[in-house]
Amino acid sequence: MIKLIAFDLDGTALHTNRTIAPRVLSTIEQAKARGIYVTIATGRSVNTTRPFAAMVGLTAPAICTQGGYIYDYVHEATLHHFTLTNDLTCELLTLADQYPHWHAVLYHGETIYVSRLAYDRDFYFRWLIETPPIISKNLCNALSGQASDKILFVIDPKHTVEANIVLRQATAGRAVVVQSHAMFVEVNPLEAHKGAGLARVAQHLGIARNEILAIGDQENDKTMLEWAGIGVAMGNGSDIAKAAANWIAPSIHDDGVAVAIERFALAGQV
């Protein structure tokens, strides 16, 4: 019996026009009516996840910022929060100076910092945060020694493989590097990944791994798909996500999240 459903937003349930398909919303409501907990697992911040949490009507704490925040919207409470050390943040920003085509975006709470506006403001609003970024020529000093939540590098897709290799070598054992979008390579705190986040939510609710359905589409969903009792990758997902999954759903354009929920949570198939 599935008791908890966790799904990614962008590319999984959320379309590029920031909508969730009616069929997906309907199956989520059916699951909730059966007493199944529902949550979101996303790289988005707490505030940028908020409208979608309301749209879905979450009944379990959300996994935000790749697991860096576990946030309970019902009680407006942070259950867990993990950060990168300032030393590591500055080290990575210095490393990034060697790669002019990497665009560093520094996260701190609900604020992002960039050294320049490499894209139009709509790009940042659509993908990263609800408020305009703060421009700081020296990102290392932007937080005045405070810890950052994560660093996201916006990179042309033809360079993301190189970036993954470079950043994983530089952070080995000190942070988690994931690709969350064709153009996004992220460095997150060591404790912050969706698998660990899902485990924390499950423990909070008293739910076992084999009672969890997780749905995602990218590499950053890999740990969540592997940890859950049933991991489902979207048909439009990456090869890494598909390799980690127990089952491949139809694409987001064919309401893959709804199909997965109908199959594993409502019909009870395995």
Which superfamily does CATH assign the domain made up of 4-81+192-266 to? Answer: HAD superfamily/HAD-like (3.40.50.1000)
What's the CA gap between 164 and 75, in Å, rounded?
Answer: 37
Query: Which residues of the chain form CATH 3.40.50.1000?
Result: 4-81+192-266
Give the model confidence (pLDDT) of 225-259 as tens digits: 999 999 999 999 999 999 999 999 999 999 999 99
pLDDT above 70: residue 269: no
| Segment 144-154 mean pLDDT | 93
Give the model confidence (pLDDT) of 123-133 as tens digits: 877 777 777 89
Query: Which residues of the chain form CATH 3.30.1240.10?
Result: 86-189
Please report, for residues 43, 75, 175, 230, the alpha-carbon distance to residue 154 in angstroms, rounded to integers and kept in the order given.
14, 34, 18, 31
Give the model confidence (pLDDT) of 80-101 as tens digits: 999 999 999 999 999 999 999 9
23 exposure class (CB count in 10 Å sphere: 0-12, 13-18, 19+): middle
pTM: 0.91
How is domain 86-189 classified at the architecture level of CATH? 2-Layer Sandwich (3.30)
